[in-house]
């Protein structure tokens, strides 16, 4: 058992580190063509860009308990969940570059990544993906499998009608469904305190007669433990759960966000408690991995991500007329 | 052919729907239905009567009043390989679920580059004429037809209702299947002849992209949908008594529109009246007029006439409702003026 646990923690580290390196690279690439004057439509990666740096534990410490048969729906800030779920990194990067080789042949972009091979999807409408995961959970139950469906949302989505309708349905039908609320404190510029009537959304589980869990301080180990319990319960037919994790958003809502709404000192304080560094220190302290091996692992990660970017950069753009394809099958 | 004919029984629109659903559900165990009051009640407009007793609560699922929840859930279930049929009780209620319909159901196949298929049928009741007022009487054909990624059909007669519903269920794309309340042949509404018609017993399909010429004529083309087709046929009978020979096209498919059938008819009649139980502006009458003006201009001998609900919400009081919904008399008046031009 200890062996499994240790391997899981290494897996979580790898997933978080991959996402972090992928996004740090994206942060730079995104600014290409957007300096000195920021123009959202310019450069190799145009459009909105929502990065998840800091929020990695929410995704990795949950998805480590899932297989490719389990469904994940994610948000407009989807890279950390996509990477943890095993979405094809080359095709995902190419999609963000708007290339023909992308997951959606360049029709989706960074907010609309679909990889049915690993049952991953995301979308740009806040709360919109929750009922999709409920439907996947319904299909799992109808077919008598032990597969589960997990929907990741931000704390802002917990105030949508879709949240309430979906939670009621999932509880009513006792579905293998888990809602993970990544509470990064900010719905664009409005704080949780100014948007939400309760101090945390796990409390709302009571309203549906289901289990609610709160993971404090962006802790990957606690998120791992709680997620394991919720996934096991769902697989055993014990119904849905809500997990809220207090997580951190290092960057703006989107790149180019002037962030006038939050105090300047907030992010440096959060970065000091970086969850990836905390997990790395834990792995070293507990002799789960050595310094040399972690260096090797990181080299592998950097190499994989760099290759994905190379693939995207060197891929062809779609022909303009391809815009007319894929409306129907 | 004779044997098929012998097997044809007359069914109402409602019974034709139920027969289509039952036969398809027997054929494919992946099909299930979700909606409000579709279980023991059998659907407020009789779309699922009796199916609960045959298939049970796992496949005929009553839902809470949570359109975003259960219609949104159809996306996840369809992506997993099931074939959900969902009922939105009134098309008027689309407002509470439009995000799921037009941002998700309609777009996911496209945004995924064709990698995610969503074989969803959304059945919804449309139409007025029984004083249900502004929030329960709309057809909204154009609102749905406007959105890329949805096939939208609105059959009129029981034979087409069954055939097109079966095709919709077998289609791998999302299909909005609009059924008109007055054409369901329900005991508690006005009963009209058009709501009862011959329907073959066996399962059969009718394409989702073809209009149907329901009356041939040479003097004028009248295009209608559902109750407006019924009114157009009534008008055509009376016009015939006055020596005017009208061709009536039942549109059946809102999206895609069968341009060819319309243009071919106008090449023969040179005159066009379009009748719609939806609003005037940006609607079917505008769309068909634009198609004919762009692609059949040379065949027109007179301006196109558009009959639709003037741009007002549908009023409650009977006299006012009758005034805003086009009828056979309006069509007759328009045609008589048109053939003199």
Measured CB to CB, residues of chain A less than 8 Å from chain B are: 71, 73, 102-108, 112, 114-116, 119, 121, 123, 125, 128, 130-140, 142, 149, 161-162, 165-166, 168-169, 172, 325-329
Report d(CA B50, CA A329) in Å as an integer. 33
Place of tokens 């008589």: B336
ipTM of the complex: 0.95
CATH of domain A2-316: 3.40.50.970
Contact present, A185 and A226 (Cβ < 8 Å) = no
pLDDT at B8: 76
Q: How many Å apart are CA A137 and CA A171, to the nearest integer?
A: 11
DSSP E strand boundaries for A163-311: 177-183, 186-187, 190-191, 211-215, 241-246
Average of per-residue pLDDT across B62-73: 98
Note the pLDDT tens digit of each residue in A205-260.
Answer: 999 999 999 999 999 999 999 999 999 999 999 999 999 999 999 999 999 999 99
Q: What is the pLDDT of residues A140-159, one digit of tens each?
A: 999 999 999 999 999 999 99
A252 three-state secondary structure: coil
Strand ranges (E), chain B: 9-12, 31-35, 60-62, 83-90, 121-126, 151-153, 175-180, 196-199, 212-215, 220-224, 246-250, 253-255, 272-279, 305-309
Q: State how far the Cα of A123 lies from the Cα of B105, in Å rounded to an integer.
A: 12
Mean pLDDT throughout B130-151?
97
Q: What is the mean pLDDT of residues B207-226?
A: 98
Alpha helices for B151-204 (secondary structure H): 158-170
Mean pLDDT computed over A46-71? 97
Burial of A277 (0-12, 13-18, 19+ CB in 10 A): exposed
**Whether A128 and B100 lie within 8 Å, measured CB to CB:** yes
Between CA B20 and CA B13 the distance in angstroms is 11
Q: Residue B37: count other Cβ atoms within 10 Å of its Cβ.
A: 16
Condensed to tens digits (0 to 9), the pLDDT of residues B255-287 reads: 999 999 999 999 999 999 999 999 999 999 999
CA distance A49 to chain B (A): 17
Please compute the mean of the pLDDT values over residues B219-230 and round it to a whole number: 98
| Angle (CA) B329 B332 B336, round 5° | 145
Phi, psi of B183 (to 5 degrees): -90, 0
Catalytic residues of B: 67, 136
pLDDT for B75 beyond 80 = yes
CA separation for the pair B17, A224 (Å, rounded): 50
Q: Residue A2: is its pLDDT beyond 90?
A: no
% of chain B residues with pLDDT over 90: 97
What mean pLDDT is reported for chain B?
97
Compute the mean pLDDT over every residue in chain A, rounded to the nearest whole number.
Answer: 97
Say which residues have a Cβ less than 8 Å from residue B311's Cβ, sequence separation at least 6.
B279, B280, B281
pLDDT at A189: 94
Closest approach of B58 to chain A, Cα-based (Å) = 8
Mean pLDDT of B136-158: 98
* Domains of chain B: residue spans and CATH: 2-199 (3.40.50.970), 212-340 (3.40.50.920)
């Amino acid at each position: 058992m200890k062996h499994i646990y240790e391997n899981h923690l290494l897996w979580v580290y790898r997933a978080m580190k991959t996402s972090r390196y992928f996004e740090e690279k994206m942060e730079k690439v995104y600014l290409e063509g957007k300096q000195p004057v920021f123009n959202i439509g310019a450069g190799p990666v145009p459009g909105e860009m929502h990065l998840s740096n800091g929020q990695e534990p929410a995704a990795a410490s949950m998805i480590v308990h899932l297989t490719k048969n389990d469904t994940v729906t994610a948000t407009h800030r989807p890279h950390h969940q996509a990477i943890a779920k095993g979405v094809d990194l080359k095709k995902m990067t190419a999609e963000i570059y708007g290339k023909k080789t992308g997951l959606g042949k360049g029709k989706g972009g960074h907010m609309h990544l679909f990889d049915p091979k690993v049952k991953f999807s995301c979308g740009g409408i806040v709360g919109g993906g929750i009922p999709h995961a409920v439907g996947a959970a319904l299909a799992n139950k109808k077919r008598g499998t032990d597969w589960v469906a997990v929907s990741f949302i931000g704390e802002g989505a917990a105030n949508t009608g879709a949240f309430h309708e979906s939670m009621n349905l999932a509880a009513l039908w006792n579905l293998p469904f888990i809602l993970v609320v990544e509470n990064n404190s900010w719905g664009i510029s409005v704080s949780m305190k100014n948007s939400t009537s309760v101090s945390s959304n796990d409390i709302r589980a009571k309203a549906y007669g289901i289990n609610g869990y709160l993971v404090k301080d962006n802790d990957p180990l606690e998120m791992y433990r709680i997620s394991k319990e919720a996934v096991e319960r769902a697989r055993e037919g014990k119904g849905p759960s809500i997990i809220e994790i207090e997580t951190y958003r290092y960057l703006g809502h989107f790149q180019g966000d002037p962030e006038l709404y939050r105090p300047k000192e907030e992010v440096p304080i959060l970065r000091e408690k970086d969850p990836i560094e905390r997990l790395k220190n834990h792995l070293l302290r507990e002799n789960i991995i050595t310094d040399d091996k972690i260096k090797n692992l990181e080299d592998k990660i950097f190499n994989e991500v760099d290759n994905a970017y190379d693939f995207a950069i060197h891929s062809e753009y779609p022909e303009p007329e391809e815009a007319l394809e894929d409306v129907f099958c | 052919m004779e044997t098929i004919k012998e097997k044809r029984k007359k069914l109402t629109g409602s019974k034709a729907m139920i027969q289509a659903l039952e036969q398809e559900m027997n054929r494919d165990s992946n099909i299930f239905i979700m909606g409000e009051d579709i279980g023991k009640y059998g659907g407020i407009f009789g779309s699922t009567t009796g199916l609960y007793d045959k298939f049970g609560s796992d496949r005929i699922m009553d839902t809470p009043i949570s359109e975003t929840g259960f219609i949104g859930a159809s996306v996840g279930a369809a992506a997993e390989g099931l074939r959900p049929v969902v009922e939105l009780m009134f098309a008027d209620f689309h407002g509470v679920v439009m995000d799921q319909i037009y941002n998700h159901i309609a777009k996911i196949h496209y945004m995924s580059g064709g990698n995610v298929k969503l074989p969803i049928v959304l059945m919804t009741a449309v139409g007025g004429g029984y004083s249900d007022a502004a929030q329960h009487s709309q057809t909204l054909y154009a609102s749905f037809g406007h959105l890329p990624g949805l096939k939208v059909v609105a059959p009129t007669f029981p034979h087409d209702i069954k055939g097109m519903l079966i095709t919709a269920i077998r289609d791998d794309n999302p299909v909005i299947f609009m059924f008109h309340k007055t054409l369901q042949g329900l005991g508690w509404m006005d009963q009209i002849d058009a709501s009862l018609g011959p329907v073959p017993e066996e399962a059969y399909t009718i394409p989702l992209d073809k209009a149907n010429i329901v009356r041939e004529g040479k003097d004028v083309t009248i295009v209608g949908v559902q109750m407006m087709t019924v009114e157009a046929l009534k008008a055509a009978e009376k016009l015939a008594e006055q020596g005017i020979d009208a061709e009536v096209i039942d549109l059946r498919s809102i999206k895609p529109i069968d341009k060819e059938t319309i243009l071919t008819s106008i090449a023969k009649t040179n005159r066009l009246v379009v009748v719609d139980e939806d609003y005037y502006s940006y609607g079917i009458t505008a769309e068909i007029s634009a198609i004919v003006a762009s692609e059949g201009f040379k065949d027109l001998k007179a301006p196109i006439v558009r009959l639709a609900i003037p741009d007002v919400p549908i009023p409650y009081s009977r006299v006012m409702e009758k005034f805003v919904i086009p009828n056979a008399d309006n069509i007759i008046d328009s045609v008589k003026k048109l053939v003199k031009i």
